[in-house]
Amino acid sequence: MAPNPPRGFIIWLHGMGGSGPANEYVKTLFESAELKESKWAFPSAPRRPISFKGVNRFFHGYQGGIPAWFDIYAIPMTADSPRDEKGLLETVETIHALIDNEVAAGTDPENIFVCGFSQGAATAFATALLYPKTLGGGVVFAGWVPFSSPSIINRITPEAKKTPILWFHGEADRMAVFGAGQAAPPFLEKIGMTCEFKAYPNVGHTITPEQYQYLESWIQKCLQSSSSS
């Protein structure tokens, strides 16, 4: 008789202008026992001033800054957009503390998944790569590679390079352009990692039901694999 899959811990990082509570509906989208019984965390980004002068065309009605994981200098995001690596690393430390607390409570790091959308996706990607241990996975919906400095890349440990990365990107995305996502597999290959990259024609800057469905089966397989190893 196969052992029951272990309980997962899933961190979900919202996009710029969003909040954790506004994304909690995500955990209700799944039917499998593995995801229903997983523990979920929906942190909120702090409000901060955004350097991109046209930001109010995309985000309206915010006073005292926009909820963001790090600063943004241009929209749309491309593979060559300038990056706020300092702000990113500060946020990654915060998410790592969440992971550390869960590990201290007894959860195996390989049962922990960091998922995100848009700016949250870029943050999830960095969080997974820069955590010193192997995680269950890093999942990117419509994101980009948010760092390029060798000093940061050199922090990626051999254990972190074993973390599976799943990347979803719509080919019609006009906020984080498809080319920004396409830059991820060669970036990862160069540092000795692989990426399951899933492209979606005619899909813009959003998460589709098909993508949620695939995410569910992917996490199920990861947890089942963890229980048998």
- C-alpha 121/C-alpha 184 separation (Å) is 12
Share of the chain above pLDDT 70, in %: 95
pLDDT surpasses 50 at 172: yes
pLDDT, averaged across the chain: 95
DSSP single-letter state for residue 77: B
CA 18 to the chain's CA centroid: 14
Is 100 catalytic? The answer is no
pTM: 0.95
Could you report the per-residue pLDDT of 45-94, keeping only the tens digit for each? 999 999 998 887 777 767 678 999 999 999 999 999 999 999 999 999 99
Q: Which single residue is written with the structure tokens 């790592």?
A: 96
The dihedrals phi and psi of 108, each to the nearest 5 degrees, come to -65, 130
Active-site residue, 205 included: yes
**Per-residue pLDDT tens over the stretch 8-17:** 999 999 999 9
Lowest pLDDT segment from 55-64, 151-160, 164-173? 55-64
* Confidence at residue 2, expressed as pLDDT on a 0 to 100 scale: 53
Q: What is the per-residue pLDDT for 228? A: 64
Alpha carbon 145 to its chain's center: 11
Residue 225 confidence class, pLDDT cut points 50, 70, 90? confident
Q: Given this model, what pLDDT does residue 64 score?
A: 72
Report d(CA 182, CA 200) in Å as an integer.
Answer: 12
Q: Tokens for 187?
A: 């970036």
- From the list 14, 38, 169, 173, the catalytic residue is 173
Cα angle value 100/102/106 (rounded, 5°): 110
Question: In the prediction, which pLDDT does 5 show?
Answer: 67
Which tens digit of pLDDT belongs to each residue from 15-46? 999 999 999 999 999 999 999 999 999 999 99
Neighbours of 63 (CB within 10 A): 6
The answer to whether 27 and 41 are in contact (CB under 8 A) is no
Enter the tokens of residue 70. Answer: 């790090």
Between the alpha carbon of residue 203 and those of residues 48, 153, 177, 198, the distances in Å are: 29, 31, 11, 12
Q: How many CB atoms lie within 10 A of CB 181?
A: 28
Catalytic residue among 118, 149, 225, 226: 118
CA-to-CA separations, 27 to 23, 40, 42, 81, 197, in angstroms, rounded: 8, 7, 10, 32, 23
pLDDT on residue 156: 99
Whole-angstrom distance, CA of residue 173 vs CA of residue 89: 26
Domains within the chain, CATH numbers bracketed: 9-228 (3.40.50.1820)
The Cα–Cα gap between 177 and 38 comes to 32
Model pLDDT, residue 1: 44
pLDDT at residue number 214: 99
The residues, ordered by sequence, that sit 6+ positions from 217 with a Cβ below 8 Å of its Cβ are none
Q: Give catalytic status of residue 151 as yes or no.
A: no
Helix H or strand E segment including 121: helix 119-130
Q: Kindly give the pairing relationship between strand 112-117 and strand 39-41.
A: unpaired
Q: What pLDDT score was predicted for residue 227?
A: 66
Predicted confidence at residue 55, as pLDDT, reads: 82
Residues 192-205 have a mean pLDDT of 98
